């Protein structure tokens, strides 16, 4: 199995980033990796995301794109189920329902199909093309995204002096089995398993591998790197938690400090997170706001009873008969063709 640059470039970029942050901290650049880089990354993330959203919002999408996942609203005797209403919505209410299903349950991925040429002796060609439901991507994506949101929420305790009780509840549920000390969080393990599955899928599924670019591998390797450094920091190479919280809380309250004695692994973790945040607005990770701009998901299919005008479809300038007469009046008169408006003497 051979790999190309699309695979190697992101892999070695992430390894290089880890080395840079490790060496940087070793030579005493804690200020850069602990304070400057996170702030810079956050500004780039913030401004970049909003800029991209505004850019998208300025793009006119004149026509409705009715998707054919359900029966559209039509003649009264054609029955529609509740499923049809959500899959092919006629109003904003059902559009929001569809968007909810998309955002929280990844409805589109649930529809994922697998196309496969199976050996089939009965057929003269010796093979049969079959389509079958494939839920692995859906399960992997769902596990990944839900554990990621739990992890993000859990990290909020580093940026708040006291954490609200709902976050504490989430944390105790996440560490439900109370294995080991510090308690093993299930979300961390699920995230790691899911990201490894999503990575292996890109590597071993030839159809997906063929269309995978460096921009697809880079976020995977980054999140894998962040996950591994995070888990290592929590369970093996422990760092001084009080000092870490002093730093992170300092960032959140705009009183940045660099406490003594935080291990390099913390800065490696933080640096990868900062780079990922800075990379966010320019990458496929923009599917976070992008899902709301997804034109096949966010429009009601109301073409049948509402006229939608293309904003750049202006009135064409026709060349009318009067224009022609104005242009050739003299010649027409000379040739004896009757005129609507005679030449004024």
Partner 1 sequence: MSEEKKEIINSLKETGFYKPGKIYDRGKVIAGIVVFIIVAAFPFFYNAGKAAKMPEPKLDTPVIRQLPEAERVCVLPKQEMRENHMVLLDEWRDQVVREGNREYTGYTGKKYTISLQNTCMECHSNYEEFCNECHQYTVQTPACWGCHIQKPKEWAG
Binding residues (CB under 8 A) for partner 1: these are 45-46, 49-50, 53-54, 57-61, 156-157, 159-163, 168, 171-172, 178, 180-183, 238-242, 245-246, 249-250, 252-255, 261, 263, 289, 292, 309, 311-315
Q: Which is nearer to partner 1, 45 or 271 (CB)?
A: 45
Contacts by 182-187 with C-beta closer than 8 Å and gap 24+? Answer: 182/234, 182/235, 184/235, 185/151, 185/154, 186/147, 187/146, 187/147, 187/150, 187/151, 187/154
Nearest Cα to Cα of residue 5 among 276, 217, 201? 217
Q: Which is nearer to partner 1, 126 or 182 (CB)?
A: 182
Distance (Å, rounded) from C-alpha 224 to C-alpha 232? 12
Nearest-approach distance from CB 337 to partner 1, in angstroms: 35
Q: Which is nearer to partner 1, 97 or 263 (CB)?
A: 263
Nearest-approach distance from CB 330 to partner 1, in angstroms: 31
Distance (Å, rounded) from C-alpha 195 to C-alpha 3? 19
Distance (Å, rounded) from C-alpha 108 to C-alpha 53? 22
To which residue do tokens 């060496």 refer? Answer: 23
Nearest-approach distance from CB 204 to partner 1, in angstroms: 35
Nearest-approach distance from CB 59 to partner 1, in angstroms: 8
Nearest-approach distance from CB 4 to partner 1, in angstroms: 32
Distance (Å, rounded) from C-alpha 16 to C-alpha 272? 11
């Amino acid at each position: 199995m051979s790999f190309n640059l699309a695979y190697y470039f992101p892999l070695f970029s992430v390894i290089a980033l880890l080395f840079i942050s490790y060496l940087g901290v070793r030579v005493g650049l804690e200020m850069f990796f602990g304070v400057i880089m996170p702030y810079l990354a956050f500004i780039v993330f913030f401004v970049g995301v909003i800029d991209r959203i505004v850019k998208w919002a300025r793009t006119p999408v004149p026509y409705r794109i009715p998707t054919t996942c359900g029966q559209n609203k039509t003649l009264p005797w054609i029955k529609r189920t509740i499923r049809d209403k959500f899959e092919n919505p006629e109003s904003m209410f059902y559009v929001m329902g569809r968007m909810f299903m998309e955002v929280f349950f990844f409805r589109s991925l649930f529809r994922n199909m697998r196309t496969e040429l199976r050996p089939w002796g009965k057929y003269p060609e010796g093979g049969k093309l079959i389509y079958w439901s494939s839920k692995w991507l859906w399960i992997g994506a769902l596990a990944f995204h839900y554990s990621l949101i739990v992890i993000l929420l859990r990290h909020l305790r580093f940026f708040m002096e006291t954490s609200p009780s709902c976050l504490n509840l989430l944390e105790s549920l996440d560490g439900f089995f109370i294995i080991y000390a510090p308690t093993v969080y299930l979300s961390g393990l699920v995230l790691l398993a899911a990201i490894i599955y999503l990575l292996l899928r890109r590597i071993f599924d030839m159809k997906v591998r063929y269309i995978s670019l460096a921009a697809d591998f880079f976020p995977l390797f980054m999140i894998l790197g962040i996950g591994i450094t995070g888990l290592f920091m929590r369970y093996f190479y422990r760092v001084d938690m009080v000092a870490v919280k002093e730093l992170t809380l300092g960032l959140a309250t705009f009183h940045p400090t660099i406490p003594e004695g935080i291990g390099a692994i913390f800065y490696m973790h933080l640096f990868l997170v900062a780079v990922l945040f800075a990379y966010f607005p320019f990458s496929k990770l923009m599917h976070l706001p992008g899902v709301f701009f997804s034109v096949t998901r966010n429009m009601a299919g109301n073409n049948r009873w509402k006229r939608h005008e293309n904003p750049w479809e202006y009135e064409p300038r026709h060349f009318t008969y009067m224009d022609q007469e104005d242009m050739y009046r003299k010649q027409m008169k000379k040739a004896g063709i009757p005129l609507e408006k005679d030449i004024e003497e």
